[in-house]
Amino acid sequence: IANELDKKNNTTITAEIKRILTNDVYRKLTAEINTKITNELSTRLSEINTELNSKLIAKITKINTCDAGYASEAQKIFSMINNITTKVNNIEEACLVQRSDFDQQSVSNESEANSTNESETNSSPSSSSGSSNLSRIFDITGDIRIRFKEHFDQLMKTRNYAFDE
């Protein structure tokens, strides 16, 4: 009986030691594995985050550079348009002044023509010449406008620019 009690106690003690060791080892092993997994995952996520941030910053820099280039191009185009508009306006103003001068010359020539027959003969070619010159100036102005519009439209199409409306 004593032998059996010793055997039973030894078995119980051995089982308890195994249970304690197993639980303790399992707990420590689980904690260590979880720590290693967490550290590895954290390191890898940090690397991925750094890589993605670098790529994103590079893309943003490229887009900003392109935007600056487009803005500069647009500014140049608007400057050219303003210069051409100013020149066309100056030409139109000069044409109006010329027309006024021609009209005054015609009135002057007509009054001279009424007073003398000889003046009438000389004033008709002058009046028709003045009118012809004025017509040519307006034709040139119209031609300049048409060519500018064609060139401008072609430039806008080539560079894929569009006016926001």
Q: What are the residue boundaries of the structural domains of the chain, listed by start? A: 2-158
Asked whether the whole model's pTM tops 0.75, one would answer no
Question: What's the rounded Cα separation, in Å, for the pair 31 and 158?
Answer: 65
Among residues 72, 73, 69, 137, the alpha carbon closest in space to that of 101 is found at 137
Q: Are 91 and 141 in contact (CB under 8 A)?
A: yes
Question: How far is the CA of 70 from the CAs of 46, 67, 77, 142, 160, in angstroms?
Answer: 36, 5, 10, 30, 10
pLDDT tens string for the chain (165 positions)?
Answer: 556 656 666 677 777 777 777 777 788 888 999 999 999 999 999 999 999 999 999 999 988 888 887 888 888 888 888 888 888 888 888 877 877 777 677 666 666 656 654 444 444 444 445 556 667 777 777 788 888 888 888 877 887 766 554
Provide the 10 A C-beta neighbour count for residue 80.
14
